Amino acid sequence: VIVRHRHGDYKIEETDLATSLAPLEGCYVLTDKNVHAHWQHLVVDKPCYVIEPGERSKTLPIFGDCLEWLAEGGASRSSTVIAFGGGVVGDLAGFVAATYMRGIKLIQAPTSLLAMVDSSVGGKVGLDLDQGKNLVGAFYPPMSVLIDYKLLATLPNRELINGAAEIWKYGAILDEHLLAMLEERPIGPGDDRLPQLVMHCVELKRLVVEADELETAGTRAVLNFGHTVGHAIEKATGYGPVLHGEAISVGMVVEALIGEKVGVSPKNASDRLRMGLRSQGLPTEIPGCDPADLLKSMRLDKKAFKGRLALALLTGYGSCKLVHDVPEPVVLECLRENL
C-alpha cells in the first residue's frame, strides 16, 4: 500500500524485519522492554533505547531523554529513527524523529495489532500531557512502515483483542462486508486471516487519511467513531486499567445508540455491535464511571465546537459521518443505558 501525503508518499509493506533492517545504517532504535525482551535479536547490531512499556512513557520527560540519547550517540541529520513497538513507541519515536534537528528520517516497525492497523498509518505522532492524551504532536509521515506478522506471536491475547476493536471499527464505519466477516468469526490468536485483515484495514485508513490528511475537511473524523465516549472512559479510569480498544468498544455501542436516538443510525445498530463485540471478548458496558463526569470530558473533545458535542455517527453499516450539535440529554441517556 502506498500512502500519499502533502510532501510525498510512503510505502506500507509486509516484510521479514530481520532481512529488511539488517542492511540499514545510521539507525537508532526506540523500543519498549516487552518488545525488546522478545525481539532484540532483530536489532542487536543497532543502538537501542528501551523505554518502560505503556502509556506513561508517552510524556515530555521521556521524550527529552530520547532526544538527548540521540545527541549523545552522535545522531545527525542523515540518521534514521526506527519505531520498534506498539502505538506508544510509534507515537513517541515519531515525535522524536519529527523534532530532532527539525526532523530526521522515521521508519515505523509496528509490533502490536493496534499499531499495525491504526497508529503506524496516517502520520500522526505525539505525546500526552498531564492535562490530556495526545495534546502535543505533529503530522510527520514515516519513510516507510514495515509490517512483520511474526511479531504478533508474542503479543498477549488481551492486546490482540485490543487491536481487534479498531478492526471492528473499520468494519462498522467503512465496510459492512468486513463487519459481517468478523461477526461470523471473531479474531483469535494465530488467526490465519490476520495478514489479509491488516492490509485491508491499512488500505481503508489510507483512503480516509489521504482525503483529509490534516483533519481539516472533517471526513477523517469518521475514524473517531466510538472514540468520543471511549476517550472519556479512558480519562475517567486513569489511562491503564481499561485499554484503548476496550474503551472504544464500549464507546462504539454507546455512540451507535446515540445515533439511533438522533435518527441517523440504523435501528438495531447498538444491538448488532454489542453482540459482535462481545463475541470478540470486548467489553460493551461502562466500567463504573459517572455519566455526568464522562459528559464533562466529552465537551473537551477536539471535535466539540464551542462546547457543543460533535460525534462521528453511523449513517448505515459501513458508513459514518460527523454530526454536530448532538443534544446532551440524549448522550446522557445513552451513557446511563449502558452502565
Ligand X SMILES: NC(=O)c1ccc[n+]([C@@H]2O[C@H](COP(=O)([O-])OP(=O)(O)OC[C@H]3O[C@@H](n4cnc5c(N)ncnc54)[C@H](O)[C@@H]3O)[C@@H](O)[C@H]2O)c1
| Residue 134 near ligand X by CB under 6 A | yes
If the CB atoms of residues 146 and 264 are measured against ligand X, the closer one turns out to be 146
**CA dist., res. 289 & res. 151, Å (int):** 35
Q: Does 228 bind ligand X (CB under 6 A)?
A: no
Give strand ranges (E) for 140-282: 144-147
Of 34, 36, 58, 124, the catalytic one is: 124
Take residue 131 and report the three cell numbers written for it. 492535562
Query: 12, 17, 21, 35: which one contacts ligand X (CB under 6 A)?
Result: 35
Position among 28, 29, 30, 32 found at the interface with ligand X (CB under 6 A): 32
Is-catalytic flag, 324?
no
* x-or-dash string of contact with ligand X, 87-106, rule CB under 6 A: xxx-x---------------
The Cα 238–Cα 235 span in angstroms is 5
Contacting ligand X (CB under 6 A), which of 42, 95, 124, 235? 124
231 is catalytic: yes
- Give yes or no: 38 in active site: no
Q: How far apart are CA 121 and CA 108, in angstroms?
A: 9
Active site residue 150: no
124 tagged catalytic: yes
**Of the residues 36, 58, 169, 220, which is catalytic?**
220
Place of cell 488500505: 203
Q: For residue 302, how many other CB atoms are within 10 A of its CB?
A: 15
DSSP class of residue 52 equals: P
Alpha-carbon distance of 264 to 96, in angstroms, equals: 41
159 interacts with ligand X by CB under 6 A: yes
What's the per-residue H, E or C state across 271-314? HHHHHHHHHCCCCCCCCCCCHHHHHHHHCCCCCCECCECCEEEE
**Residue 144 and residue 10 in contact, taking contact as beta carbons nearer than 8 Å:** yes
Cα separation, 39 vs 231, in Å, equals 31
* Cβ distance to ligand X smaller for residue 38 or 278: 38
**Residue 31 C-beta: closest distance to ligand X, Å:** 9
Instruction: Judge whether 68 counts as a catalytic residue.
Output: no
Q: Please, which residue, 90 or 291, has the CB nearer to ligand X?
A: 90
Q: Closer to ligand X by CB, 151 or 323: give it.
A: 151
Q: Output DSSP code: residue 41.
A: G
Q: Among residues 12, 97, 109, 122, which is the contact residue for ligand X, using CB under 6 A?
A: 122
- Given the rule CB under 6 A, which residues bind ligand X? 32, 34-35, 38, 53-55, 58, 85-89, 91, 111-112, 114-115, 118-119, 122, 124, 134, 151, 154-155, 159, 162, 244
